[in-house]
């Protein structure tokens, strides 16, 4: 039994909330520590991943996942794009903490901390991997305490100089060389600059634990917008708020600006920011613990749209279940859409293999997928889906709600005893215009089928 199927009844008000909820943005896995990256008209969000089963009531994290969106409401699951197994030299099976990815000259650099083993880097020719380890050892060497080397954040300035900031409870940076996998060893202490932690720069410490000298705690997110350098971070010790500081240069001096996310009942004891501008809007990513019904080691990534004030300051942002209200693009249903492109789902998981890539699995009767802002234009008369029948069942295709008007029913029946992927087709009502689309799964006992992709034909 999929653990999410047990937890979903706990999750808010079920059907009612699911029709309006957009947060968390992933319901098939627990995801944390969001790191958004805009590339080629898409937002990619790299996340850490809290396992469904927690070991020793602590962070249980083995790999890093990636999701992408063209419209900020439907998210395509690219699976686990990297894991601790990418590092052959590493003798660790847990500790895949907060990542961030950046593109330079057509290559993608994924900076990752392994808890207790410092910060490393992986490289790929594609934003969704495969990633490989270019060094065979950690990136940040000669650190005085690898236990504090977590939460890397990377940014390339207008002059081409790349910076990597990180740290809990102190803050450090290196100036990355153009190859992005080494750094200038002539500055700071063997290349590592320790940022001066004072109340003017990072606020007064509220943690009162003797370790956190200022309000800065961890999870920095570093970027520049309209000549202001921003460092947004988890603050206030445990439980964490989100605060930020600004500076006139990439190296400071930093000025504390206060909180941008306070506490709310469904937030976890940690929080972790990521901010991007996309298609003219600004988005704030963070994580909460709503999907797990309140377990701080089972977190989920959420996102809110916000607007900067005229002076560049960031307003207080409220964490909501509704999340992003409006898509910034419509989804085209007349070309192949991966089944794992989801605005909201209940009861499902994704898996992947070499032949099919990522697919939707754990499909039982009553589960469903919602896809938002689907533009049927002048009408669609046929639906086709690539599926792997297991016990077999049906897909009810509905508009605008789980119980909305029925466009058609696609039977996914098992033929023969072998498992194999096939295409199934059904006629649909000739519906027009932009709608939310619901696939509601119906069948008997056990798993019904797996789903690869779908499309409508005119």
As measured in angstroms, the least distance from the Cβ of 26 to ligand FUB is: 15
Contact between 151 and ligand FUB (CB under 6 A)?
yes
Q: How far apart are CA 12 and CA 21, in angstroms?
A: 10
Q: How far apart are CA 287 and CA 234, in angstroms?
A: 11
Contact between 32 and ligand FUB (CB under 6 A)?
yes
Of residues 166 and 344, the one with the C-beta less far from ligand FUB: 166
Contact between 219 and ligand FUB (CB under 6 A)?
yes
As measured in angstroms, the least distance from the Cβ of 33 to ligand FUB is: 5
List 119, 150, 250, 342, residue binding ligand FUB (CB under 6 A): 150
Length of the chain equals 458
Of residues 98 and 412, the one with the C-beta less far from ligand FUB: 98
Contact between 286 and ligand FUB (CB under 6 A)?
no
Residue 123: CB atoms within 10 A of its CB come to 18
Q: How far apart are CA 340 and CA 369, in angstroms?
A: 9
Contact between 364 and ligand FUB (CB under 6 A)?
no
Contact between 266 and ligand FUB (CB under 6 A)?
no
The alpha carbon dihedral of 173, 63, 282, 178 has a sign of positive
Contact between 233 and ligand FUB (CB under 6 A)?
no
Q: How far apart are CA 218 and CA 242, in angstroms?
A: 10
Of residues 297 and 359, the one with the C-beta less far from ligand FUB: 297
Contact between 272 and ligand FUB (CB under 6 A)?
yes
How buried is residue 321: exposed, middle or buried, by Cβ count under 10 Å (0-12/13-18/19+)?
middle
Structure tokens at 423: 């295409």
Question: What one-character DSSP code corresponds to residue 183?
Answer: B
As measured in angstroms, the least distance from the Cβ of 240 to ligand FUB is: 8
Q: How many residues bind ligand FUB (CB under 6 A)?
A: 13
Pairing of strands 107-113, 100-104: antiparallel
List 70, 77, 218, 447, residue binding ligand FUB (CB under 6 A): 218
As measured in angstroms, the least distance from the Cβ of 289 to ligand FUB is: 11
Contact between 149 and ligand FUB (CB under 6 A)?
no
Contact between 270 and ligand FUB (CB under 6 A)?
yes
Map the footprint of ligand FUB across residues 56-75, applying CB under 6 A.
Answer: 59
Contact between 24 and ligand FUB (CB under 6 A)?
no
192-197, long-range: CB < 8 A, 24+ apart: 192/140, 192/142, 192/143, 193/251, 194/170, 195/165, 195/170, 195/171, 195/252, 195/254, 196/252, 197/170, 197/171
Contact between 48 and ligand FUB (CB under 6 A)?
yes
Nearest to 300 by CA among 19, 4, 1: 4
Buried/exposed 365-378: b ≥16 CB within 10 Å, e otherwise: bebbbbbbbbebee
Question: What one-character DSSP code corresponds to residue 7?
Answer: H
As measured in angstroms, the least distance from the Cβ of 292 to ligand FUB is: 14
Of residues 30 and 108, the one with the C-beta less far from ligand FUB: 30
H helix or E strand, kind and range, residue 16 = helix 15-20
Give the alpha-carbon dihedral of 334, 336, 342, 347, to 10 degrees: 120
Establish how many alpha carbons lie within 13 A of residue 213's alpha carbon, considering only the half-sphere containing its beta carbon.
10
Contact between 26 and ligand FUB (CB under 6 A)?
no
- Terminal-to-terminal C-alpha distance of the chain: 38
Map the footprint of ligand FUB across residues 81-110, applying CB under 6 A.
Answer: 97-98
As measured in angstroms, the least distance from the Cβ of 298 to ligand FUB is: 11
Nearest to 118 by CA among 149, 139, 89, 75: 149
State phi, psi for 371 to the nearest 5 degrees: -120, 130
Binding pattern for the stretch 108-147 against ligand FUB, x by CB under 6 A and - elsewhere: ----------------------------------------
As measured in angstroms, the least distance from the Cβ of 242 to ligand FUB is: 11
As measured in angstroms, the least distance from the Cβ of 314 to ligand FUB is: 19
Q: Are 154 and 176 in contact (CB under 8 A)?
A: yes
Binding pattern for the stretch 165-184 against ligand FUB, x by CB under 6 A and - elsewhere: --------------------
As measured in angstroms, the least distance from the Cβ of 272 to ligand FUB is: 4
Task: Report the interface residues with ligand FUB, using CB under 6 A.
Answer: 32-33, 48, 59, 97-98, 150-151, 218-219, 234, 270, 272
């Amino acid at each position: 039994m999929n653990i999410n199927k047990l937890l979903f009844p706990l999750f808010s008000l079920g059907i009612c909330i699911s029709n309006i909820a957009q947060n968390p943005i992933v319901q098939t896995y627990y995801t944390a520590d969001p790191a958004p990256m805009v590339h080629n008209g898409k937002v990619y969000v790299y996340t850490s991943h809290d396992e469904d089963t927690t070991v020793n009531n602590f962070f249980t994290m083995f790999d890093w996942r990636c999701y992408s969106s063209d419209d900020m409401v439907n998210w395509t699951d690219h699976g686990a794009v990297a894991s601790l197994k990418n590092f052959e030299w590493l003798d660790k099976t847990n500790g895949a903490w907060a990542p961030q990815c950046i593109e330079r000259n057509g290559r993608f650099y994924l900076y990752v901390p392994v808890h207790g083993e410092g910060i490393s880097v992986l490289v790929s020719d594609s934003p969704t991997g495969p990633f490989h380890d270019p060094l065979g050892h950690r990136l940040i060497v000669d650190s005085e305490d690898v236990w504090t080397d977590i939460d890397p954040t990377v940014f390339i300035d207008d002059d081409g100089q790349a910076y990597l900031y990180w740290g809990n409870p102190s803050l450090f940076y290196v100036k990355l060389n153009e190859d992005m996998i080494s750094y200038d060893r002539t500055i700071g202490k063997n290349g590592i600059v320790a940022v001066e932690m004072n109340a003017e720069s990072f606020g007064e410490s509220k943690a009162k634990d003797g370790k956190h000298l200022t309000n800065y705690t961890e999870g920095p997110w570093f970027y520049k917008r309209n000549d202001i350098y921003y460092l947004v971070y988890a603050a206030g010790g445990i439980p964490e708020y989100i605060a930020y500081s600004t500076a006139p240069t990439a190296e400071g001096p930093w000025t504390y600006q206060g909180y941008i996310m306070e506490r709310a009942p469904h937030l976890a004891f940690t929080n972790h920011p990521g901010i991007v501008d996309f298609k003219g809007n600004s988005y704030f990513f963070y994580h909460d613990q709503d999907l797990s019904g309140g377990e701080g080691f089972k977190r989920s990534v959420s996102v809110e749209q916000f607007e900067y004030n005229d002076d560049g300051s960031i307003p207080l942002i409220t964490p909501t279940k509704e999340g992003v209200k409006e898509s910034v693009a419509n989804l085209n249903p007349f070309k192949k859409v991966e089944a794992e492109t989801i605005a909201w789902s209940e009861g499902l998981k994704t898996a992947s293999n070499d032949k099919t890539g990522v697919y939707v699995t754990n499909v039982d009767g009553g589960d469903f997928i919602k896809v938002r802002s689907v533009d049927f234009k002048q009408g669609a008369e046929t639906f086709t889906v690539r599926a792997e029948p297991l016990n077999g069942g049906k897909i009810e295709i509905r508009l605008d709600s789980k119980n909305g008007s029925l466009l058609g029913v696609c039977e996914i029946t098992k033929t023969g005893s072998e498992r194999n992927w096939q295409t199934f087709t059904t006629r649909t009502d000739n519906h027009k215009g932009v709608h939310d689309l619901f696939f509601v799964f119906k069948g008997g006992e056990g798993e019904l089928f797996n789903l690869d992709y779908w499309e409508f034909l005119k």
